[in-house]
């Protein structure tokens, strides 16, 4: 039997008396775009934060190629190949676009103080710059390399967030609500970039509130409700699944 | 041994009294305005110098000098609020740095006004309450203890029973919500600053005859106050009082059996331990930092 | 092209000016110049520490650790002064490393208070333990730097001018190293940790390790500045490294601004000149704390981006690109 690429099992998080995520389990296949959806308050973001190491799970495991990564710190998770993005436009707003991407190359070209002082790191610096420019080029940002990241338009900032993650050459990229606040045109462009990213060999796990945005994108979708696993399947199955419809209707009424 | 412990206990209660007055003021200012007033020890020093000037130099009645100390230092607090903390409301670190600047100014003014020498304030009364041969309490110390109990009770009543007190607590918990409720942040800041500074001033005024008054006395005061508010949980008034009592006991006992410097080191180490283990303090709830 | 010409002419010109500088000054002004040179290193190292976004109130005490350590190594162990200075710097860095374990569990305001508490503890230890720290009176008769001759110039360290040249070379090298660090990927990571520590961590940066690294390097340079000071004035005591001295450093950094490498250095130079030329000449030396307090408040209130922002505006105007460039650099 083969070991699943990314496996979540029995994942639980309690905040005081509140159970945000309760015994969640699912698997993500290598090279897939996998969606994790659910109505507001379903525990998607909490799950996401546990996978990326931002939170420590109360119970349960996250395994990457069979190796447990749950409970590790965020930078340790990143060093094992799982890199996340953040909701909204979380960037180094004060740094230039290129510098943002250079921070992303941190793991591949680990800086060294002594080499930097003497000047023995020229090769690493060139490599890092190449990698950063490659990532910017991938997302069509190379022309903006020397602009201040905080000055970019919203859509570009989102793309830059992904470019920073991509510069880290991750095996798995975790995208936290990448479509929030985007107009349809921006959404389409972003979807095209994600397909391109997947075709380059990166496994993608997307957390998204908007069910429609992920339908055309994901190979498989896991649905959560009230912190629990609700169902899983290909987009066609999810779209017509009565429990999912019920959950989302309930969610909508709750929001309204 | 029992007598030594009893005497140490009395000393500790006295120390706890003025420490809690200083610390409660500091916490009140932090709670309402979100800024740490580094110049709080110098406000204490200002209160002490008021007594030096009015009581020791001009021979006015002691209680009058103390009352003036309370009001005068309170007004200085109002000036700080207006000139420093209000313009820097969105910049808590800036407010802290500005208060460090103000600390230097007050110290320099005290040096210019009175010189660096120790001021000797004649005792208000020589009376001593004798419990036994080795257990005594000087009456001026009793003044400080009584004043602290009265003032802290009054403050507690003010905060819990009056409309102003309610407004103060509301804006300490959630400034934005309080503003929506029609509570003026400027007004609550003024009240907090007046009370906070005034308490430091009266603590300094009352203890002036018992300590050596000099321009640099604020340093050890602010260090103890920091220890107390961090251990008690920054933002918690009750925590500050409890921590002041606890710290005063620890400090007095260590001073009695070893020496004062070791006691300071122990206090600061305790504070570091609390910062590491439970940064919100032992009684802390609100966290605005 | 213009830039390169500026470098080829500018640096040697600056070096020549700095070498010629003491000849135009009186003996007491030369002494001030030595202190200023040492303080430039101190304040530049302070800025390195603030690169990761944490402001410490213990930096001057760390400088004192370097001073005490170097003094003790020469006095107690008879180590050759230049070596003991370097060992003093290493000791300061080591102490910072130990302090980083408790301190970097805290952030922001708590770090500020924590660093203050840690500094006070160290100062109290110096005060309390007469052996070996000398108690409140500190250590006296610290060995001076041994005189030596390099052919074109013979160093007589009784003369401030000689010590100035020594300090100039040492500080110059240290500034160059700090500049190299900031301009390297390490420096970029420091900035990243400052602006968005969560995002940096998601990119695999061990945030705490980098905060510690900045703290330790900065402390090493601060310790070296302390060692330079100790062997110049020949005596150290706990009060030389008290909160007042920390306020001076804070004032230099804030008045100068910390966004650029040169900001705090400008702050230190301008305020020292102000102090020596204006205050001392006019007989207001006593008012130094008062003036510093006022300056600190005024710059927080009215010039929050420091003197460097003024310099940047002037430079930007001269380059014809307007104030926008100044705003950009400011970041």
Res C312: pLDDT: 84
Could you tell me if residue B269 is inside a domain? no
Could you tell me if residue B149 is inside a domain? yes
Total domains in the fold of chain B = 1
Segment B229-247 shows an average pLDDT of 88
**DSSP states along B158-206:** HHHHSHHHHHHHHHHH-HHHHHHTT--HHHHHHHHHHHHHHHHHHHHHH
| Cross-chain Cβ contact A148/C200 below 8 Å | no
CB-closest option in A102, A119, A124 to C188: A102
| Cross-chain Cβ contact B271/C244 below 8 Å | no
Beta strands A6-15 and A59-64 are antiparallel
How close B226 comes to chain C (CA, Å)? 8
Segment B109-120 shows an average pLDDT of 86
Could you tell me if residue B116 is inside a domain? yes
Segment B243-252 shows an average pLDDT of 92
Domain map (residue ranges) of chain A: 1-81+170-256, 85-168
pLDDT at residue B33 is higher than 60: yes
Nearest one of C296, C327, C117, C263 to B94, comparing CA atoms? C296
What's the pLDDT band for B285 if we cut at 50, 70, 90? low
How close C329 comes to chain A (CA, Å)? 10
Could you tell me if residue B205 is inside a domain? yes
Res B198: pLDDT: 96
Res A255: pLDDT: 37
User: A226 by DSSP, 3-state: which?
Assistant: coil
Res C320: pLDDT: 58
Nearest one of A201, A241, A175, A159 to A36, comparing CA atoms? A175
In angstroms, what CA-CA distances link B279 with A123, B24, B231, B273, C92?
44, 18, 9, 9, 26
Res C2: pLDDT: 64
pLDDT at residue B287 is higher than 70: no
**DSSP states along A160-206:** HHHHHHHHT--SEEEEESTTTT--HHHHHHHHHHHHHHHHTT-EEEE
**Domain housing B134:** 2-216
Rounded distance between C-alpha atoms, residue C207 and residue C217, angstroms: 16
Homologous superfamily (CATH) for A85-168:
P-loop containing nucleotide triphosphate hydrolases (3.40.50.300)
What sign has the CA pseudo-torsion C129, C131, C133, C135?
positive
| Cross-chain Cβ contact C184/A111 below 8 Å | yes
Nearest one of B35, B281, B15 to B145, comparing CA atoms? B15
pTM score, whole prediction: 0.88
CB-closest option in B109, B223, B261 to C127: B261
In angstroms, what CA-CA distances link C311 with A130, B242, C15, C47?
34, 51, 21, 18
Segment B58-74 shows an average pLDDT of 93
Res A1: pLDDT: 54
Query: What are the pLDDT tens digits along chain A (256 aa)?
Result: 578 899 999 999 998 778 889 999 999 999 999 999 888 778 888 999 999 999 999 999 999 998 999 889 999 999 999 999 988 768 898 899 999 999 989 888 888 888 888 888 888 888 899 999 989 998 888 999 899 998 998 888 888 998 999 999 999 999 988 888 778 888 888 888 889 889 988 999 999 877 777 888 899 999 998 888 988 989 888 888 888 888 876 654 443 3
| CATH topology assigned to domain A1-81+170-256 | Rossmann fold (3.40.50)
Res C243: pLDDT: 84
Res C166: pLDDT: 93
- Look over chain B and give the mean of its residue pLDDT values, rounded to a whole number: 88
Report pLDDT digits (tens) over B127-185: 888 888 888 888 889 989 999 999 999 999 998 888 888 888 888 777 777 877 778 88
Residue A79: its chain C contacts at CB < 8 A? 204
**Residue among A97, A106, A147, A171 with most chain C CBs within 10 A, to mutate:** A106
Residue C207: its chain A contacts at CB < 8 A? 75
pLDDT at residue B100 is higher than 70: yes
CB-closest option in A84, A99, A165 to C188: A99
List all residues 6 or more positions away from A219 whose beta carbon is below 8 Å from its beta carbon: A29, A32, A33, A34, A234
Rounded distance between C-alpha atoms, residue B192 and residue C134, angstroms: 44
Could you tell me if residue B39 is inside a domain? yes
Higher pLDDT, B45 or B187: B45
What residues of chain C score a pLDDT lower than 50? 321-331
- Taking only residues 221 to 250 of chain C, the set having a beta carbon closer than 8 angstroms to any beta carbon of chain A reads none
Could you tell me if residue B258 is inside a domain? no
Res C158: pLDDT: 81
Rounded distance between C-alpha atoms, residue B90 and residue B92, angstroms: 6
């Amino acid at each position: 039997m083969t070991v699943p690429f990314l496996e979540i099992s029995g994942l639980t998080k309690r905040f005081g008396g509140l159970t945000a995520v309760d015994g969640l389990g699912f698997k993500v296949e290598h090279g897939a775009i996998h969606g994790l959806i659910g109505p507001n308050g379903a525990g998607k973001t909490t799950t996401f934060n546990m996978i990326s190491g931002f939170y420590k799970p109360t119970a349960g495991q996250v395994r990457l190629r069979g190796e447990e990564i749950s409970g590790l710190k965020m930078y340790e998770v990143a060093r094992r190949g799982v890199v996340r993005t953040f909701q909204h436009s979380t960037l180094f707003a004060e740094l230039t676009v290129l510098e943002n991407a250079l921070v992303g190359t941190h793991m591949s070209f680990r800086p060294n103080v002594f080499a930097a002082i003497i000047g023995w790191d020229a090769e690493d610096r060139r490599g890092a710059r190449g990698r950063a420019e490659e990532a910017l080029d991938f997302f069509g940002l190379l022309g903006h390399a020397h602009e201040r990241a905080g000055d970019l338009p919203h859509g570009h900032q989102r793309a830059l967030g992904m470019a920073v993650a991509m510069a880290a050459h991750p095996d798995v990229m975790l995208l936290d609500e990448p479509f929030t606040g985007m107009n349809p045109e921006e959404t389409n462009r972003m979807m095209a970039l994600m397909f391109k990213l997947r075709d380059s060999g990166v496994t993608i796990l997307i957390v998204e509130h908007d069910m429609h945005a992920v339908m055309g994108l994901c190979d498989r979708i896991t649905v959560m409700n009230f912190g629990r696993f609700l169902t899983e399947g290909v987009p066609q199955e999810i779209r017509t699944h009565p429990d999912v419809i019920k959950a989302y209707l309930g969610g909508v009424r709750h929001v309204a | 041994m029992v007598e030594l412990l009893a005497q140490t206990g009395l000393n500790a209660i006295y120390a706890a009294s003025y420490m809690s007055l200083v610390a409660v003021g500091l916490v009140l200012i932090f709670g309402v305005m979100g800024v740490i007033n580094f110049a709080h020890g110098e406000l204490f020093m200002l209160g002490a110098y008021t007594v030096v000037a009015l009581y020791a130099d001009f021979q006015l009645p002691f209680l009058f000098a103390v009352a003036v100390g309370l009001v005068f230092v309170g007004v200085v607090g109002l000036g700080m609020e207006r000139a420093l903390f209000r313009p820097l409301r969105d910049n808590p670190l800036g407010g802290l740095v500005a208060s460090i600047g103000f600390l230097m100014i007050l110290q320099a003014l005290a040096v210019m006004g009175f010189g660096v020498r120790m001021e000797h304030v004649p005792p208000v009364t020589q009376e001593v309450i004798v419990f036994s041969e080795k257990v005594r309490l000087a009456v001026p110390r009793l003044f400080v203890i009584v004043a602290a109990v009265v003032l802290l009770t009054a403050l507690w009543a003010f905060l819990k029973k009056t409309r102003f007190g309610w407004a103060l607590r509301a804006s300490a918990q959630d400034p934005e919500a309080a503003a929506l409720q029609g509570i003026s942040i400027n007004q609550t800041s003024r009240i907090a600053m007046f009370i906070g500074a005034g308490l430091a001033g009266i603590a300094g005024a009352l203890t002036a005859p018992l300590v050596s008054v000099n321009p640099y006395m604020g340093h050890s005061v602010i260090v103890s106050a920091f220890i107390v508010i961090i251990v008690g949980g920054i933002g918690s008034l009750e925590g500050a009082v409890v921590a002041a009592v606890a710290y005063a006991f620890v400090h007095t006992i260590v001073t009695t059996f070893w020496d004062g410097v070791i006691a300071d080191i122990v206090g600061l180490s305790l504070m570091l331990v609390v910062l590491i283990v439970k940064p919100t303090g032992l009684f802390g709830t609100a966290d605005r930092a | 092209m213009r830039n390169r010409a500026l470098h080829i002419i500018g640096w040697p010109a600056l070096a020549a000016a700095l070498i010629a500088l003491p000849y135009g000054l009186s003996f007491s002004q030369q002494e001030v110049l030595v202190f200023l040179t040492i303080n430039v290193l101190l304040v530049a190292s302070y800025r390195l520490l603030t690169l990761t976004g944490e402001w410490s109130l213990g930096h001057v005490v760390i400088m004192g650790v370097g001073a005490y350590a170097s003094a003790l190594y020469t006095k107690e162990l008879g180590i050759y002064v230049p070596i003991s200075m370097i060992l003093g710097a290493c000791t300061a860095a080591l102490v910072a490393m130990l302090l980083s374990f408790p301190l970097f569990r805290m952030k922001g305001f708590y770090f500020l208070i924590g660093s203050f508490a840690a500094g006070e503890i160290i100062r109290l230890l110096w005060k309390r333990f007469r052996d070996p720290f000398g108690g409140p009176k500190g250590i006296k008769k610290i060995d001076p730097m041994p005189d030596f001759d390099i052919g074109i110039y013979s160093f007589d360290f009784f003369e401030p001018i000689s010590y100035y040249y020594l300090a100039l070379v040492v500080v110059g090298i240290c500034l160059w190293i700090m500049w190299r660090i900031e301009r390297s990927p390490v420096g970029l990571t420091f900035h990243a940790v400052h602006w968005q520590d969560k995002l940096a961590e998601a990119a695999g940066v061990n945030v705490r390790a980098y905060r510690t690294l900045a703290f330790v390097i900065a402390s090493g340079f601060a310790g070296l500045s302390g060692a330079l000071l100790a062997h110049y004035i020949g005596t150290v005591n706990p009060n030389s490294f008290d909160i007042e001295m920390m306020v001076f450093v804070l004032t230099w950094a804030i008045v100068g601004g910390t966004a650029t490498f040169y900001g705090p250095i400008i702050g230190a130079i301008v305020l020292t000149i102000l102090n020596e030329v204006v205050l001392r000449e006019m007989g207001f030396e006593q008012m130094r704390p008062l003036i510093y307090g006022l300056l600190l408040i005024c710059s927080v209130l009215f010039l929050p981006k420091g003197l460097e922002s003024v310099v940047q505006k002037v430079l930007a105007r001269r380059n014809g690109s307007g104030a926008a460039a100044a705003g950009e650099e400011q970041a």
